[in-house]
Amino acid sequence: MVPGPIGVFDSGYGGLTILRQIRELMPQYDYLYLGDNARAPYGIRSFDVVYEFTIQAVRKLFQMGCHLVILGCNTASAKALRTIQQKDLPQLDPQRRVLGVIRPTAECVGQITQTRHVGIMATPGTIRSHTYRMEIAKLYPDIKVTGEACPMWVPLVENHEADSPGADYFVQKHIENLMYRDPKIDSVILGCTHYPLLLDKIRQFMPSQVTVIPQGDYVAHSLQDYLRRHPEMEARLTRGASVSYYTTEHPVTFNENASFFLKSAVQAQRIVLES
Ligand code: DGL
């Protein structure tokens, strides 16, 4: 067994917000980021297509030496993770692991909500999958979950419109929809890795009694806890404090946009995913 980096996968740029928080907590490991920018966004795609794209990326990250892959994308976690864990991993390599971002986020919410009424804001695909609702119900059956699909929020972020007056309209509209449907909500999960870039606007329009929950910090701590509980996996990770970026689109475009998400310059390489 040759140790390797931790793989972080996303449909595009959103997973960079997860990678940033994981690296803040555990800078010692090597990381390999893969963004499927050529085929993003995933949020509007069917179950079958998201699964197909995600398993291709996981296979590639395994080939590149990763023993542990984090799906830093809610849509891929919602639509592909379970099948990959149950069907693909036993055949591909039972020693390797693929983890998602939904379970760690669902775990935290029980300690935060007082009213036991929780909102989820996410892509249409994540909301339609009901994965958050199911994960929260397993852990906290007393919590009522209301989901709001926000199809315009990812395009706003990707087109650098997150601070524009146009963003005000769409952010306010979806918050009002959610709170109208359940006025008792006191905690709202941002169930999309792009949404931390809209955080200031979301806080501006969210009623003051509502706690907004960006997920990156919970995902990072959950991974740290996982590695403490699984020393056999920790032993398979290299510790060179490096990060390499790969994209299925043109690297120049990726570099420009990724620096907006990470607030630092990156040098990506192009990669092709095969079926
Ligand atoms: N980053 C993805 C997520 O967390 C959203 C972007 C997309 O639709 O591809 O769901």
From ligand 1's centre to the CA of 154, what distance in Å?
Answer: 7
Ligand 1 and 194: CB distance under 6 A? yes
Q: Is the dihedral of CA 43, 61, 258, 195 positive or negative?
A: positive
154, 156, 157, 219: residue to mutate for ligand 1 pocket, most atoms within 8 A of CB: 154
Is 192 annotated in the active site?
yes
What pLDDT does residue 44 have? Answer: 87
What pLDDT does residue 161 have? Answer: 92
Ligand 1 and 154: CB distance under 6 A? yes
* Tokens linked to 184: 């008792």
Give the distance from CA 87 to its chain's centroid: 22
3-state secondary structure at position 138: helix
d(CA 170, CA 74): 20
Q: What is the mean pLDDT of each run of 10 residues along the chain (275 residues)?
A: 96 95 98 96 92 98 98 96 97 96 96 98 95 97 98 91 94 98 98 95 97 96 98 98 97 92 92 90
Q: Output the residue whose Cα is nearest ligand 1's atom 2.
A: 73
> Other CB atoms closer than 10 Å to residue 234's CB: what's the count?
15
What pLDDT does residue 73 have? Answer: 96
Ligand 1 and 21: CB distance under 6 A? no
Ligand 1 and 10: CB distance under 6 A? yes
Ligand 1 atom with the smallest distance to the CA of 76 is 10
> Other CB atoms closer than 10 Å to residue 184's CB: what's the count?
12
What pLDDT does residue 20 have? Answer: 95
From ligand 1's centre to the CA of 196, what distance in Å?
Answer: 12
What pLDDT does residue 275 have? Answer: 78
Q: Are 68 and 6 a contacting pair, CB within 8 Å?
A: yes
Q: Are 171 and 201 a contacting pair, CB within 8 Å?
A: yes
Ligand 1 atom with the smallest distance to the CA of 40 is 9
Q: Are 28 and 248 a contacting pair, CB within 8 Å?
A: no
Rounded to two decimals, the pTM is 0.95
192, 218, 257: residue to mutate for ligand 1 pocket, most atoms within 8 A of CB: 192
Catalytic residue among 66, 108, 150, 192: 192
Is 150 annotated in the active site?
no
Residue ranges and CATH numbers for the domains of the chain are: 6-100+217-270 (3.40.50.1860), 102-214 (3.40.50.1860)
